[in-house]
Amino acid sequence: MPVDSKHPDFKAREKDYELIADCLAGERVIKSKGETYLPKPNPDDTSEENAARYRSYKKRAVFHNVTGRTVENNVGQSFAIDPVATVPAEMEPWLADIDGGGTSAIQQSKKALGGVVANSRAFLWVDYPKTSGPVSVADAEAGNIRPKIILCPAIDVINWRVVSVGAKSKLSLVVIREQFIKKDDGFEATFDTQYRVLRLIEGKYWQELHRPGNGGFQIAERIQPLDGQGNPFDEIPGTFIGATANDVDVEKPLMLDIANLNIAHYRNSADYEEAVFMVGQPTPWLSGLSQSWVDNNMKGGIMLGSRACIPLPENAQAGLLQATANTLPKEAMDQKEILMEVLGAKLAERAKVQKTATEAGINEASETSILASCCNNVSAAYGHALRWGAKFANIETADPEKEILFELNTDFAIARMTPEEAQGVMALWQGELMTFEEARDKLKSGGWAYLDDEDAKDQLEEEHAADFAKAQQELKAQTDAQIKVQAAKPAPGTNNKPVPAGA
């Protein structure tokens, strides 16, 4: 099969990925696609006049990027607190430059979460430099030879296969679509498409680069990456990231319904803005006028406004035609805004939409659980990638599953505890109806605390010790002042004046 062959599941979702990508890109890209997202009102009319009208029709339309804002808001909730990375000291520089291009682990993981929230899918893999043998510790520590972690969006991973090895399934093929510079004269670059193939051949990992040639694609490069000991890998160092699970199954994109509504809202906006342009301004009308009256009294036209006067004959009438506010396109837009809000779009709260506390809690728990699942899957993928990288760099740990971790925050603002609820937790703890650890768990999940329990205890002890020392100093200062005052007073029963200090 040709290298650009697409997996059936990818072909079924490719248009969805393109739609979501265009919505995330915003109004400029949406409008550049023309009739793809905004059909012509009269498509059978091929005249230049109709083409000019369509250009104006499209220009007046407004694309409110609810899809993009929804993804940004969900990602922002997780990254309100930075991810926690647990790695050996030798790997810490990797976190500042995870892909060899200056992107930090936090920046890349933010993009990864955005891709999963948008498409329910992304691919994370580890690229190793070409080596001829074992990697020395000096080279690894100096960063001369180090792995790179690469993030691929769902729309660029066009094909994949899995094989069963015992009771486990592992990737045997991944095809990634990329762009490369075909020609560059120093001022302008020309790009073309290439395909990077990650595959297992006889149980060993190989990487191939396919570029255009002879009417198709040819292998331009083939390498067999080696681990830190100079041995070939027996698995593809990559993993899919999903909304519910990190497997090869293609899920329905989380943002698909919102993106479809977003486009429908854009089309309604075009009709609404067209109506506003055509009939939005009041149109004056006059009745009961004869042609002779017009010729004799209105030669200079009609002036409108508070300082103008319209002369009318007996029984004549004047008025203004004005479109009503409740037009069908506007009502359709309003309905779609409500639907997008229900589906998770973080629009401004509508005053007439009321929710009970129970309804709000149920909705928030549902949204939190979906976002938390995405965050946990991204965390798991980065943990795998970092451990693959450690294997290449000969970085040994007693327990890699515990000593090499990358964890995204899942304590979202949407689940924050109110001040009244926090006071209730404190009252239960002070009333000895809740332990310190139980109270801390409630406060951490509610966004009121973030330290580990042991760190919190240590810090509280330090603060108490500091407060006690400060109180002791204040008490001593007060005591010294009182002693001076007492010493300055005359002895009882005498008329002697107090002896000045130092006399």
pLDDT of residue 367: 47
Same domain assignment for residues 37 and 150 = yes
pLDDT of residue 191: 94
Q: How many domains does the chain have?
A: 2
**Model-level pTM?**
0.73
CA atoms within 13 A on the CB side of 271: 17
Counting as low any pLDDT under 50, the low residues of the chain are 345-354, 358, 362, 364-367
Whether residue 228 is contained in a domain is answered as yes
Same domain assignment for residues 86 and 150 = yes
Same domain assignment for residues 387 and 425 = no
Q: How far is Cα 10 from Cα 154, in angstroms, rounded to an integer? A: 9
> Residue 9 in 3-state DSSP?
helix
* Range(s) of the domain holding residue 452: 417-488
Whether residue 284 is contained in a domain is answered as no
> Residue 26 in 3-state DSSP?
coil
Q: How far is Cα 92 from Cα 378, in angstroms, rounded to an integer? A: 19
Token pair of 249 as six digits:
């199954």
Q: How far is Cα 205 from Cα 195, in angstroms, rounded to an integer? A: 17
CB 169 within 8 A of CB 257: no
Alpha helices in 79-196 (DSSP H): 92-96, 105-119, 137-142
pLDDT of residue 245: 93
> Residue 113 in 3-state DSSP?
helix
Q: How far is Cα 255 from Cα 70, in angstroms, rounded to an integer? A: 8
Same domain assignment for residues 398 and 464 = no
Task: Return all residues near 247 (Cβ < 8 A) that are at least 6 apart.
Answer: 240
Q: How far is Cα 178 from Cα 16, in angstroms, rounded to an integer? A: 19
CB 149 within 8 A of CB 385: yes
CB 484 within 8 A of CB 501: no
Same domain assignment for residues 387 and 440 = no
Whether residue 34 is contained in a domain is answered as yes
Question: Which residues does residue 219 pair with via DSSP β-bridges, in sequence order?
Answer: 210
pLDDT of residue 126: 95
Same domain assignment for residues 387 and 435 = no
pLDDT of residue 352: 40
Q: How far is Cα 212 from Cα 179, in angstroms, rounded to an integer? A: 12
Same domain assignment for residues 387 and 455 = no
Same domain assignment for residues 466 and 372 = no
Whether residue 169 is contained in a domain is answered as yes
pLDDT of residue 223: 93
pLDDT tens for residues 347-379? Answer: 323 334 445 554 555 454 444 568 889 999 999
pLDDT tens for residues 270-328? Answer: 888 888 787 767 778 888 888 888 888 877 677 777 777 878 888 888 887 776 655 67
Do the strands 216-223 and 405-407 form a parallel or antiparallel pair, or are they unpaired? Answer: unpaired
End-to-end CA, the chain:
110
Phi, psi dihedrals of residue 400, rounded to the nearest 5°: -55, -35
Same domain assignment for residues 402 and 465 = no
Same domain assignment for residues 65 and 170 = yes
Q: How far is Cα 271 from Cα 58, in angstroms, rounded to an integer? A: 10
Same domain assignment for residues 375 and 464 = no
> Other CB atoms closer than 10 Å to residue 57's CB: what's the count?
18
Of 377, 407, 437, the residue at which a domain comes to its end is 407
Q: How far is Cα 150 from Cα 147, in angstroms, rounded to an integer? A: 10
Question: Which residues does residue 124 pair with via DSSP β-bridges, in sequence order?
Answer: 151, 239
pLDDT of residue 490: 67
Whether residue 320 is contained in a domain is answered as no
> Residue 99 in 3-state DSSP?
coil
Of 407, 435, 464, the residue at which a domain comes to its end is 407
Q: How far is Cα 239 from Cα 383, in angstroms, rounded to an integer? A: 11
Same domain assignment for residues 80 and 119 = yes
